Amino acid sequence: MEDIDFENRHKIINKNKKVVMCLQCGTCTSSCLIPRYLKDYNPRMSFIHALYGSRKAIENPTLWACSVCHTCQDRCPEGVNPTELLISLKELAFAEGLAPKTVAQGTELVLSTGRAYPASAIVDSARERLNLGKLRDVDVKDLNKIAEKTGLREKLNKLKG
Amino acid sequence: MTGPDQQEKLRIGVFICHCGKNIGAVVDPAAVAEYAKTLPDVVFVIENLYTCAEPGQEEIRKAIKEHNLNRVVVASCSPKLHEPTFRRTLTEAGLNKYLFEMVNIREHCSWVHMREKEKATKKAMDLVRMGVAKARLLQPLEDITVPVKKEALVLGGGVAGCQAALDLADLGFKVNLVEKDPSIGGIMAQLDKTLPTMDCSICILGPKLVDVGKHENINLITNAELKSVDGFIGNFKVKVEVKPRYVDMTKCNGCGECVDVCPVILPNQYDMQLKPRKAIYCSFAQAVPLVYAIDKDKCIECGMCMDACDLNAINLDQEPQEINLEVGTVIVATGAEPFDATRKEEYGYGKLENVITSLEFERIICASGPTGGDLLRRDGGHAKKVGFVQCVGSRDEKCGNKYCSSYCCLATIKQAMLIKEHDPEAEIYIFYTDIRAFGKGYEDLYARGREEGLIFIRGRPSSIKENPKNKNPIIVVENTLTNELMEVEVDLAVLAIGLQPTEGARNVAQMLHIPIGADGFFIESHPKLKPVDTPVDGIYICGTSAQPRDIKDSVTTGSAAAARASIPMGAGKFSVEGITSVLVHPEKCTACAICTTKCPYGAIQVKEKGKTPAIIIEASCKGCGTCVADCPFKALDQRHFADEQIFAQIDAALEEDPEDKIISFNCNWCSYAGADLAGVSRFQYPTNVRIIRVMCSGRVSKEMIMRAFEKGAGMVLVAPCHPSDCHYISGNLHAKNRIDQLYKVLPSKGIDPRRLRLEYVSAAEGLVYQRLIKEMTEQLEEFKKQGIVKTPVKGG
């Protein structure tokens, strides 16, 4: 293991100051449902890597498996806000173009259709059955403007590139 | 021990208690009473519904007067419950309280044999017979009361000793405070800040030291050491030697003119040798007493200080001086020593110039220290990146110190915070195994440390290397949270050294006859309930002499020891039960001094081995009887638990069907109470066990066990407290040694060693006792079948 990367540590801590309180007790990991299905997934390790300013905190591919159920956040005895921290780590990873392709595709979908899921024929027939009426098109002009101004578009391009 | 007084005719009264239905519904009290009437010297027998209730007690008082009783036997519950009650009743009736014997037919009989009424009644008769047999041999005894001087000795002038001395002095007792160094203050005087509040250490300690120096009730004796201690609680005779300081204390006003002219420059121990001092010196500015001393070994006797001193205070011909004290109590506050970090060779202390100890760090970071508070390396550079290594010399079998030194975790965090205070950009690594933040406000300090950005790496460094280019220490460690190896190069490595017992502790323990544990620290009388008492009455321990402690706990225990010592001093007297050991046959005593090695209290002494017979210091004797059992010449006996009395109980127990019986020797504190608990819990077991109560298993002699076998006992059980739980510290171990020896001898006497068992039973192990008796009874049946225990032919 390399030395502590203080610059990177500060970058992460600034996103979520409570992470310094982490005692590595493991309540988060033992509360989490994901490790039952994904052996390599371990939120505690994300936090120790965050504290050391390690690249592993953001390069970790299983980071994206978090289902944002907030159980760890409920139970963390030190008030670290683990779910928030995982979200910040994802943000940092996304900015560096480290998110999985599926995340980029999902984002593209929102920007192009205004929806997180594609409006397919199955969706249409289901809505008809439930008397919900047909889906209307969404105006994504403003959404794309925001993406442009906030730099999301640029980050997306980086991810795709 | 002498037998019953032949002049006096024995008149024994036996009182059989029904305890409502507790006894009466199982045991037939009327039958037991009828049986009791047939026993020798019994002149009066009566049944009571409740003997312990006032009408029952009144019957005892009445019977003593009307029937002129001179021994009383009550067959009721456990003596642990009502022996004091009935002893009082006897006293009220004008009879000596030791002429009383209690027979336990409830906890040890009716409650444990609820479905075997006939057998229980038979057993109750046996137990009464045993009680009467002992009662016939009882002797009147007096409790021993000694006067206690209202003057104390406190050994050691660290913060614990100062606190103890001040508390006692404020209570109005005269206190002699003896300190080995020229000034009081101890390790606390060397610290920069205290935790968790970050107060300046000397600022809060200084005024206390001044109070000690000025208190009208405190006689401060510095630069002195303990030479000898004699006597016991109430009146310890103490010899103290004051080493010459070569400066007249009555003349020196602490001006320091002498220091300016002294040409000899030496390292200052107070500053961990990091700052110079002269051959004539005063340890630190706030020293008490503020009197200079000369380091005679290094002094070149140039006489320049003598010329400089206007007060003519310097006297190079000063001689050691002996002081004799007589004190009622002693408080031991001799402290601990910092671990010698050179012993942990892999950390390079003493070889690598940028590896320092936590105590050196305290001096360096202190504004009055060698660098004026700047965290400097030896090359003068500022340390920006610092690594703290925890548990150096603690929790480490290789160093012989298996214990946690308890103060270091938070001391390190405090030190790291001090660095951050001076330099917020500093990078600080703490290498730890566990962070133990147990005290009030400690977790907060740990949290603040994390908020300040201290980096905690979980792992114990294997070694510290040195970067040859810049002399930076490189700390090699496995980060056990990430399973990764790390080599962290720092500007300065600080070793968090633990505390260990002082070199002189053994000497002090020998003089005071107080025990030392495996870790080398003094042992308390009870780890929970008597944490500052020692097994020796009138001697108390506090501060780090008993275990590593931080300042707060040192002060707390200092106050606690003072409070405990003030009890006998306030009362002005101290009493002990009359059940002490006694040298009944001085002519048999060869002064072999074996007894002195068995007594943990120093209560039995042989002044000159092989010449002068043993002397028993009754005020110190706790009445365990271990010395008696181990006396090879039968010169000793114990009052109220005399050989003759116990033999009489054994004989009475084995009068009928001895081969079916188990004789169980139970110690008063653990296994007797354990058997009581079996009763209270109604744990049923076979009726063939006969319990004989002794104060300690250490009292059970080989002769007692052999007597039981000679009388035909099927099996013998000796039930001591668990190994480290003995009420008398080591009696159970002596019992075990004795039985181990006996195991080797038994076969030659035709006795299968399996018939003798030693089983530890605690006061909480009623269930264990029940199982044990069940198991032994089955075993005994088997032995009888196999002919290992012979069944005598009846009438043959």
Give the nearest chain B residue to A13 (CA atoms).
B453
Burial of B509 (0-12, 13-18, 19+ CB in 10 A): buried
Q: Given an 8 Å threshold on Cβ–Cβ distance, is B485 in contact with A1?
A: yes
pLDDT band of residue A161 (cuts 50, 70, 90) is low
Residues 6+ apart with CB under 8 A from B564: B532, B533, B540
For residue B427, list chain A residues with Cβ-Cβ distance below 8 A: 4, 6
pLDDT at residue B299, rounded to an integer: 94
- Beta bridge partners of residue B665, listed in sequence order: B692, B718
Alpha helices (H) along B194-288: 201-214, 257-261
Between chain A and chain B, the number of residue pairs with CB atoms below 8 A apart is 27
Burial of B498 (0-12, 13-18, 19+ CB in 10 A): buried
Give the nearest chain A residue to B427 (CA atoms).
A6
Q: Which residue in the set B455, B481, B489 is minimally distant from A24, CB to CB?
A: B481
For residue A4, list chain B residues with Cβ-Cβ distance below 8 A: 427, 429, 455
Q: Which residue in the set B427, B451, B484 is minimally distant from A1, CB to CB?
A: B484
Using the Cβ of B434 and the Cβ atoms of chain A, whether some distance falls under 8 Å is answered with: no
Q: Given an 8 Å threshold on Cβ–Cβ distance, is A21 in contact with B447?
A: yes
Using the Cβ of B479 and the Cβ atoms of chain A, whether some distance falls under 8 Å is answered with: yes
Q: Please tell me the distance in Å from B171's CA to the nearest CA on chain A.
A: 46
Contact indicator for B641, B625 with CB cutoff of 8 Å = yes
Measured in degrees and rounded to the nearest 5, phi and psi for residue B662 equal: -115, 120
Q: Given an 8 Å threshold on Cβ–Cβ distance, is A4 in contact with B485?
A: no
Mean pLDDT of A103-124: 89
pLDDT at residue B794, rounded to an integer: 52
Q: Which residue in the set B458, B485, B488 is minimally distant from A3, CB to CB?
A: B488
Q: Given an 8 Å threshold on Cβ–Cβ distance, is B427 in contact with A4?
A: yes
d(CA B100, CA B136): 10
Q: Which SS3 state, helix, strand or coil, does residue B779 take?
A: helix
What is the secondary structure of B487-502 as a DSSP string? Answer: EEE-SEEEEEE-EEE-
Q: What is the pTM of this model?
A: 0.82
Ranges of residues in chain B with a pLDDT under 70 are 1-7, 792-796
Q: Which SS3 state, helix, strand or coil, does residue B511 take?
A: helix
pLDDT at residue B425, rounded to an integer: 94
What is the secondary structure of chain A as a DSSP string? Answer: -----HHHHHHHHHH-GGGGG-----HHHHH-SGGGT-TT--HHHHHHHHHTT-THHHH-GGGGG-----HHHHH-TT---HHHHHHHHHHHHHHTT-S-HHHHHHHHHHHHHS-SS---HHHHHHHHHTT--PPPP---HHHHHHHHHHTHHHHHHHHH-
The domains found in chain A, sorted by start residue, are: 6-95 (1.10.1060.10), 101-160 (no CATH)
**pLDDT (tens digit per residue) in A72-113:** 999 999 999 999 999 999 999 998 889 898 888 899 999 999
pLDDT at residue B568, rounded to an integer: 97
Give the nearest chain A residue to B482 (CA atoms).
A45
Using the Cβ of B455 and the Cβ atoms of chain A, whether some distance falls under 8 Å is answered with: yes
d(CA A107, CA A113): 10
d(CA B347, CA A114): 62
Burial B238-267 (b: 16+ CB within 10 A, else e): bebbbbbbbbeeeebeeebebbebbebebe
Element (H, E) at B665: strand B662-667
For residue A24, list chain B residues with Cβ-Cβ distance below 8 A: 458, 481
Q: Which residue in the set A20, A48, A49 is minimally distant from B453, CB to CB?
A: A20
Residue where the block lists tokens 């990177």: A8
Element (H, E) at B475: strand B472-479
Q: Given an 8 Å threshold on Cβ–Cβ distance, is A1 in contact with B479?
A: yes
Q: Please tell me the distance in Å from B431's CA to the nearest CA on chain A.
A: 13
Using the Cβ of B444 and the Cβ atoms of chain A, whether some distance falls under 8 Å is answered with: no
DSSP B530: B
Q: Please tell me the distance in Å from B452's CA to the nearest CA on chain A.
A: 9
